[in-house]
A and B are shown apart, each in its own frame.
Chain A
Amino acid sequence: MKGRLPNFLFLFFLIITFFILFSILEAYSTLITISEVEPLPGRSSITYLLSKYTGSHGRFNFMVETRSVRLQPTGAYVNSAVITLYWSVESPPGQNGRNFIISVRLYDDEGRSLTSGSVTVCLLKSTNSGSYTITLSNTNIDDVAKVETSIRDDGHWC
C-alpha cells in the first residue's frame, strides 16, 4: 500500500497538470480566434435621419421630403453630400416656387458635430424632384456615426 501511494499521487498530479495546461492553451487559442480571425465592432451601425417638412403660407401649402442622401467620398474622406428631394409646392400667381434651406450635418459616436453644410434652393411648383450637392469639410468616413438632414422654409418666394 505504501508503495502504491506515490504512484497514485503521481497520476493524480499528472491529470491535474494536463487539465491546467489544456485550459491555458484553450484560453490562448480563443484569444487568437477573437483578436485575429473575427474582427470586433468599431462601429457596427450608422444612422441616417431623412427629414420631411410640411408647412404653409396663407393658403399655399408646402411638402418637402428627403428621399435619399449620398456621401461623396474621396478615398477615406467625405467632402460633399448629395440630397435628393421630392416636393409639392404651391405659390401665388407670378411666383415660380418657394426657397428652402436644405442642410446636412455629420456626427460622431459621442454626438459631436463633425461637419455641416447647407444650400438654399428654389423648389419650383412646376416640378417635384431634384438632387442638390452640399459641400462639407473633409471628414473621415470612419468617424461618421450619424447623418442628419433638415429642411427649413426660407420664407421667400422665388
Chain B
Amino acid sequence: MMKKTLIIFIFIILITTTLAYSTAIYVGDLGQLGASEKTPVAKYNLRVYSVSITVENNQITSITITVASSIPGNYNIYARVTSGSCSATATWNNVDLSTQRTLSSSLTPQCSYTPPGAAVEVGGEPV
C-alpha cells in the first residue's frame, strides 16, 4: 500500500514537471533556451565612444579607446588594429564597465598607417 502510494506520487511529480517544462518551451516559442518573452535574456551591447591611435614615423604605436556596456559588469576587452595586411591586438582583462572606461595600450607589431586607412575592431565579453 505504501509502495503504491509512493509510485503514484513520483508519477504525478514526473508528469507535472514534464508538462510544465514542455509548456514553458511551447509558450515561449524559443529560438534559444531561456529566451521567452516572460524570461528575457539579458543581452549586452558594447558601446565604443572613441578610438584614438598614436602614429610615430608612420607606425601605429598605441591605441586608446573609450568603452562602456549596456549591462554593467566586468568584461574582457580587445582592440584589433588592421592596416593593410598587418594586424595588432591589445587586450584588457577584467575591466569594470559599470561606467565608461578609457583604456590605452601599446601595440605589437607596429603596423604602417597606409591608405586607405586602418580598421579598429573593439570587442568584449563578460568575465
Contact = CB atoms under 8 A, between A and B. Distances in A.
A54 B114 CA distance: 9
A24 interface: yes
A142 B117 contact: no
Contacts of B73: 39
Given A46-B121, A47-B121, A50-B120, A67 B126 contact: no
Interface in B38-61: 39-55
Q: Which 9 A-B pairs have the closest CB atoms?
A: A45-B123, A68-B52, A35-B34, A42-B43, A70-B50, A51-B117, A39-B42, A31-B34, A48-B51
A42 B35 CA distance: 13
Nearest to A70: B50
A8 to B, nearest CB: 13
Contact of B41 (A14, A34, A43, A70): A34
Contacts of A6: 3
A41 B124 CA distance: 9
B123 to A, nearest CB: 3
B115 A50 contact: no
B10 interface: yes
A50 B119 CA distance: 6
Interface residues of B, number: 47
Interface of A: 6, 10, 13-14, 17, 20-21, 24, 28, 31-32, 34-36, 38-54, 65-71, 73, 84, 86, 141-142, 147, 149
Contacts of B124: 44-45
Nearest to A140: B45
B46 A44 contact: yes
A45 B123 CA distance: 4
Interface string B1-40: 0010001001001100110010000000000011100011
Contacts of A67: 52-55
B45 A42 contact: yes
A82 to B, nearest CB: 8
A52 B60 CA distance: 13
Contacts of B110: none
A100 B122 CA distance: 28
B121 A142 contact: no
Nearest to B17: A24
Given A21-B17, A69-B50, A48 B123 contact: no
A142 B70 contact: yes
Contact of B44 (A17, A42, A48): A42
A148 B44 CA distance: 23
A86 B114 CA distance: 13
Interface in B63-87: 64, 66, 70-71, 73
Nearest to B51: A48
